[in-house]
Structure 1
Amino acid sequence: MGGLGILGTMEMARNAMQTARQGAEIAGNNLANASNPIYARQRVKIASAVAIPTDKGPQGSGAEVARIEQVRDYAIDKQLVEEKSVTAFLEAKQRGLQMAESSLGQTLDRQSINAGDAYSTFGVSEGLTDLFNSFQSLSATPTSTAERQTALYNAQKLSDKFRSVDRRLEDLRESLNKEIKVDIVNANANLEQLAHLASSIGNTELVEGAANEVRDVMQFTLENLSQYVNLTTTTNEDGKMSVFIAGEEFITDNVLTDIMKVVTNADGYHSAASAGNGTALNLSSGKIAGAIAARDGATVNMRSSLNTLAAELITQVNTLHNTGYDLSGNNDNTLNFFTGTGAADISVNSTLKDDPRKLQMSAAADEVGDNTVARSLANLNQSDYNNLNAMGFTEHYGNTVSSFGQELSLVNVQLNDQRMVQNMLQKQRDSVQGVSIDEEVANLVIFQRAFQASARLITTMNTLMGDVINMQR
């Protein structure tokens, strides 16, 4: 004999109604979060209730909700953390290089191999061409005041461009330097929040069960942190998490044990280190590493190359100019054409700008119309110089911007490829944990029907109970 009996069956139906109701509630919660980008859909895990023994064998006693679980692929989550860090690195580096490109006041054409064709507006390349062309024109009429003024004007215009580019590149480095400091502070904020969330999850799940919503926020925070630094995570047997940044441990078993600090070198440039032991962090991805790469890489190389170019131009032009004679037959071998020592301070001698007649274009005191120095100045661009890696002025500048353009082009290609990888992973994750409105509506109908059927079972059992009671009358 045995079995559930009428009352037991009614209790089983009541439990079934509760299970269906809870399933409908979870489906409703999923629908409410359909547009929430950090939400992982949930589902009720329904398990059979404990069977009861009968003389015919164990008899089922219905079903109950065992737990509410997230639908999440942890392997994809982990990979997305890594890929987002790489994407953030490339985006930060690209942004820095694009700002350096803007510092030139021009737009690079990465397909061009000719420095003169690599720009859409006036730049150093055009300035060099204009300067040497004006020396060439001056050699045709060396006594012309107008030609002398033109040469001085073009020289000053080129000098202004050198100084402008140098200042902008230095300002860019300072701007990136400030961003690095801010990013380290923001990364620490994410690190602290991550430890708090991990601890909260541990405490909640120890007593109340799965903390699904908090896990959503923790994964979101972890991905945010990865956009600043390269990190790895481990989980022990108790489910407690440890976080490592560039190989250094910052969270140990859900407890924040270290933070990053800003360290500044002798030149005033920032980087990240462990606040606990002072170890410098060798960041390989994330926006902090990207900003450092842009600040200390191509930007520095371009500025150094431009400074070398300006310094060599100053030396070569001044050396020739100091050997010549002005229109009055005077030679001042200390009257430099350019003042300054490099790109930061190059300018045209104010004495010459005030009186173009003092330009020393003749090779002899008694030959006012001689053009020897002017021709030599015009031919400077045809020579190669050891300080410019055995290249001429225009060629050296073209090589500088070509190298920079290639690096920017490479970063653009890498970033496009990286975004494709990240988007593919994001779509894979969305297909696993994203909310499907059609699926949730279908689940609602299923749970609705289950609830109705369970209610019908209670009604049936109630009728049977009435029949049994009436039998006694």
Structure 2
Amino acid sequence: MASDLLSIAASGARAARAALDVTAQNIANASSEGYVRRSVSISEVSAAGGQNRLGDISLSGARVSGIDRNADMFRQAEVRRTGSDLARANTELGGLENIEAAVEQSGVYDSIVEFEAALQQLSADPGNPSLRAAVLAGADTLANKFNIAVDSLGAAGEGLRFDAAASVEQANVFGEELARVNLRLARASEGSSDRATLLDQRDTLLEKMSGIVDISTTFAADGTVTVATGGETLVSGGQSAALAMTTAGDGTIAFQVGGAPIAPRGGSLAGAALALESARDVQGRLDVLADQIAGAVNAAQANGVAFDGSPGQPIFAGSGAAGIRVVATQGSAIATAPAGSPAGSIDGSNLAALRQALDGADVAGSANGLLFDVSSAVSGRTVTRDALDAIAASARISLEQQAGVDLDTEAANLMRFQQAFQASGRAMQVASDVFDTIVGLR
């Protein structure tokens, strides 16, 4: 007959042994990052009945037809997408929190309030040298607070740019490695253990890349993948394009792939770009605020006279929050009296005009509004981040439930395949006993 008991039992033993090996791999890699559960596909082997009996098909045992990965490409794509969104939100939120700390801890708002309070106290006694010195000290403190705020913003921006540059380098490393995996996948045998391992590496690299920049993927029949971002191809076959970053004069960053500009919408690079744009806007508002204060004070000085009767001179010099500084050295230089007043005048009408100018510009309100806007942005992004975190966690749990290793299931499989192996061995023993009995007949 076409099938013989020994070959059938031997094929069953080989299939059971292969299934035991795969089950052991699953158990050993249950906690390995990126590992996808494998299963063995076992199919029946059939043979024709012989000459003139081609229609007579009999079973001839079993064979391992392949090793399958229990991966769901749609769930994997969802994990990449939600992870990319979460990485963007985390990076942007971290940058905004640093911006908030830079503005709040610099004490710009408090120093404006204290400067205005010193001006109010001086208005009660314009000739008091101690109060004049306090106003000048308040002005110097205010200028220093603006300088500190800009330095802190610069440090926050530098940290974001440093991390973004490191992420760009990492993305290029992942792209080169993915290109090598593509080449190896193109040569890997269908259904082999090596191919399953390469597919795990491919999917892990894709997930890591999606955390840096949002990507779109196209999979070929041989398992190779083409990766693009912003409409530009990052990886195709065994080739990878270079991702690059440039920094503008205002501290914001832009990205290119192979020299072509792209605008990331996800990943840590998108979050860094958004945070740096916020830092630029905050510094712009600080610059406007510093110029408003310096302009109002210096304009009032120009319309009045110092305590010695000389024309009023600027108290502030420089422009913007980074450049503002106090140039007056004596409290007597504060022009509290209007032009034409004699030396030693205690006429405080010019000081009143200065206070009115500051009130009209509402510099304290502008500073408070800046703090409120930054804090509101942090609060809003925190809510968004938490929502994206929940969505990403749900997507990952769904993937792990489908593709992860369940140790209880694997333990049951160990027993099942071990029993199958023992049964095949028992069948071979029975076949041997039958043949021995036949040979012993006389």
**What TM-score results when the alignment is normalised by the length of structure 1?**
0.86
Q: In the alignment, what sits opposite 1:59?
A: 58
Q: Which moved more, 1:136-145 or 1:401-410?
A: 401-410
CA contact (8 A) 1:314 1:342 kept: no
Unaligned runs of 5+ in 2: none
Q: In the alignment, what sits opposite 2:255?
A: 272
After TM superposition, list the pairs within 5 Å mapping 1:430-441 onto structure 2. Answer: 430-441=400-411
| Structure 1 residue 422, shift from structure 2 partner | 0.8
Q: In the alignment, what sits opposite 1:161?
A: 145
CA root-mean-square deviation: 2.4
| Match 1:128 to one of 112, 116, 129 | 112
Q: In the alignment, what sits opposite 1:332?
A: 311
Asked if residue 302 in structure 1 is aligned to residue 282 in structure 2, the reply is yes
Unaligned runs of 5+ in 1: 107-121, 385-391
Provide closer, same or farther for how the CA distance between residues 400 and 316 of structure 1 changes in structure 2, counting only shifts above 3 A.
same
Provide closer, same or farther for how the CA distance between residues 342 and 282 of structure 1 changes in structure 2, counting only shifts above 3 A.
closer
Asked if residue 85 in structure 1 is aligned to residue 68 in structure 2, the reply is no
Q: In the alignment, what sits opposite 2:67?
A: 68
Moved beyond 4 Å, runs of 4+: 54-57, 206-210, 263-270
Secondary structure at the aligned position of 2:41 is classed as strand
| Structure 1 residue 264, shift from structure 2 partner | 5.2
After TM superposition, list the pairs within 5 Å mapping 1:221-236 onto structure 2. Answer: 221-236=205-220
| Structure 1 residue 302, shift from structure 2 partner | 0.7
| Structure 1 residue 237, shift from structure 2 partner | 4.5
What code does the residue aligned with 1:375 have? A
What code does the residue aligned with 1:464 have? V
CA contact (8 A) 2:68 2:191 kept: no
| Structure 1 residue 150, shift from structure 2 partner | 1.7
| Match 2:327 to one of 339, 346, 349 | 349
| Structure 1 residue 212, shift from structure 2 partner | 0.7
Provide closer, same or farther for how the CA distance between residues 393 and 372 of structure 1 changes in structure 2, counting only shifts above 3 A.
same
| Structure 1 residue 269, shift from structure 2 partner | 5.7
CA contact (8 A) 2:214 2:265 kept: yes
CA displacement 1:96-129 (0-9 Å, x = unmatched): 21221222243xxxxxxxxxxxxxxx71111111
Secondary structure at the aligned position of 2:299 is classed as helix
CA displacement 1:242-271 (0-9 Å, x = unmatched): 22121112333x231532234455667652
Asked if residue 451 in structure 1 is aligned to residue 400 in structure 2, the reply is no
Distance in structure 1 (CA, Å) of the matches to 2:178 and 2:234: 11
Distance in structure 2 (CA, Å) of the matches to 1:362 and 1:378: 13
| Structure 1 residue 3, shift from structure 2 partner | 6.1
Aligned length: 437
Secondary structure at the aligned position of 2:262 is classed as coil
After TM superposition, list the pairs within 5 Å mapping 1:233-248 onto structure 2. Answer: 233-248=217-232
Distance in structure 2 (CA, Å) of the matches to 1:393 and 1:463: 102
CA contact (8 A) 1:162 1:306 kept: yes
Distance in structure 1 (CA, Å) of the matches to 2:20 and 2:220: 35
Distance in structure 1 (CA, Å) of the matches to 2:222 and 2:249: 45
| Structure 1 residue 299, shift from structure 2 partner | 0.8
CA displacement 1:378-421 (0-9 Å, x = unmatched): 3344314xxxxxxx112222222222222222222221111111
| Match 2:185 to one of 201, 208, 220 | 201
| Structure 1 residue 273, shift from structure 2 partner | 1.6
Distance in structure 2 (CA, Å) of the matches to 1:140 and 1:228: 60
CA displacement 1:59-83 (0-9 Å, x = unmatched): 3333222111111111111122222
| Structure 1 residue 371, shift from structure 2 partner | 2.3
Distance in structure 2 (CA, Å) of the matches to 1:123 and 1:64: 75
CA contact (8 A) 1:181 1:270 kept: no
Q: In the alignment, what sits opposite 1:361?
A: 336
Asked if residue 22 in structure 1 is aligned to residue 6 in structure 2, the reply is no
Asked if residue 12 in structure 1 is aligned to residue 8 in structure 2, the reply is yes
Distance in structure 2 (CA, Å) of the matches to 1:444 and 1:208: 21
Provide closer, same or farther for how the CA distance between residues 258 and 351 of structure 1 changes in structure 2, counting only shifts above 3 A.
same
Structure with the largest fraction of strand: 2
CA contact (8 A) 2:176 2:240 kept: no
Distance in structure 2 (CA, Å) of the matches to 1:233 and 1:368: 78
CA contact (8 A) 1:133 1:378 kept: no
| Structure 1 residue 209, shift from structure 2 partner | 6.9
Q: In the alignment, what sits opposite 2:267?
A: 286
CA contact (8 A) 1:155 1:348 kept: yes
Q: In the alignment, what sits opposite 2:31?
A: 35
Asked if residue 374 in structure 1 is aligned to residue 355 in structure 2, the reply is no
Distance in structure 2 (CA, Å) of the matches to 1:260 and 1:75: 26
Percent sequence identity over aligned pairs: 23
CA displacement 1:202-252 (0-9 Å, x = unmatched): 111369676111111111111111122221111245544222121112333
Distance in structure 2 (CA, Å) of the matches to 1:214 and 1:465: 46
What code does the residue aligned with 1:53 have? G
Distance in structure 1 (CA, Å) of the matches to 2:8 and 2:215: 50
Secondary structure at the aligned position of 2:311 is classed as coil
Distance in structure 2 (CA, Å) of the matches to 1:37 and 1:177: 29
